[in-house]
Structure 1
């Protein structure tokens, strides 16, 4: 990352992000609606979808210049999204302090869905977030992910839900 001033500005933004702001953006009713959308989508495909919303990076990560992508990859590993039977886990990571979204797809999915497609899903969220429409934008993005997974990995009978559907708030 750049200068000390840039590091300080970024670290300060993360340090001063509040849990109450995150709860206003993602209240319990929104988290429940997202979990229900993930569950409904997973009934139509073989993928496993996780949503992690982080109010801010830990101070040392922000100071050290950890990118949104690096953080998403770490959480993908930490929460076992990579560890699904069909290698078809998808993490949608939201960094509220920086208003950034990243999607990490397991290798089974990554072979069939390109980066540009995932970036379009991220743009759905960032465009909605700019207007304060966290609920609707997130549900629209989850619907897009479910549609992509249904198209490329349709359900093939009964399956076990390998990952919890409720979003994680960090």
Structure 2
């Protein structure tokens, strides 16, 4: 990861247009659809957040992607699912960073190594210029794992607790 002035410059140079180039509206619709369809197979929640950059003063103070992902986990209330099984997939475009933050039950069921594998594969997709496909693959993998860990008992009683549309921050 970039350090110091190079990192500050990367954050100053990156904005919402960069996010839109990586994930245009049609791409965001397909990602939303993948989350929606996948959640029909389990009672957990997946939330996607994509952020272009941080203000320069936060970068200068050393705020790293993991710290920001934890803030977003709270801000988007991913922690507030009834069964504590929410999962946040966070992308920081300026740092080219991916973080997955899982609530207690989801982390216990999936395990940190599995979540790291999903991050690594998503990173490979983003690095190869296949951001949308990488994210769709990550969502599919998470949905598969969550369906095994949190099977849907009854579709009638399952409530969609979090929005499925990716949050662009």
Distance 2:123 2:26 in 1: 20
Per the alignment, residue 26 of structure 1 pairs with 23
> 1:113: Cα distance to partner?
1.5
Equivalent pairs, count: 166
Question: Structure 1 CA distance, aligned partners of 2:123 and 2:138?
Answer: 10
Matched, 1:134 2:146: no
Whole-Å Cα distance in 1 between the matches of residues 119 and 106 of structure 2?
17
The superposition leaves residues 83-119 of structure 1 with CA deviations (integer Å, 9 ceiling, x where unpaired) of 0111110000001111110000001111121111101
3-state DSSP class of the match of 1:156? Answer: coil
Q: Deviations over 1:113-151 (max 9, x none)?
A: 111110110111110111111111110000011011001
Cα RMSD (Å)? 1.2
Q: Any idea what the Cα deviations from partners look like across 1:49-77, whole Å, max 9, x if unmatched?
A: 00000011222221111111111001000
- How is 1:1-170 mapped onto 2 (pairs within 5 angstroms)? 6-157=3-154, 158=156, 159-170=158-169
**Aligned-partner SS, 2:117:** helix
SS, match of residue 112 in structure 1: helix
Structure 2 unaligned spans of 5+: none
Shift of residue 18, structure 1, vs aligned partner: 2.6
TM-score computed with the length of structure 1 as normaliser: 0.94
The two structures have a TM-score, normalised by structure 2, of 0.95
Misfit runs of 4+, over 2 Å: none
> Which 5+ residue runs of structure 1 have no aligned equivalent?
none
CA offsets per residue over residues 8-31 of structure 1, 9 Å max, x none?
A: 221111011132121010101110
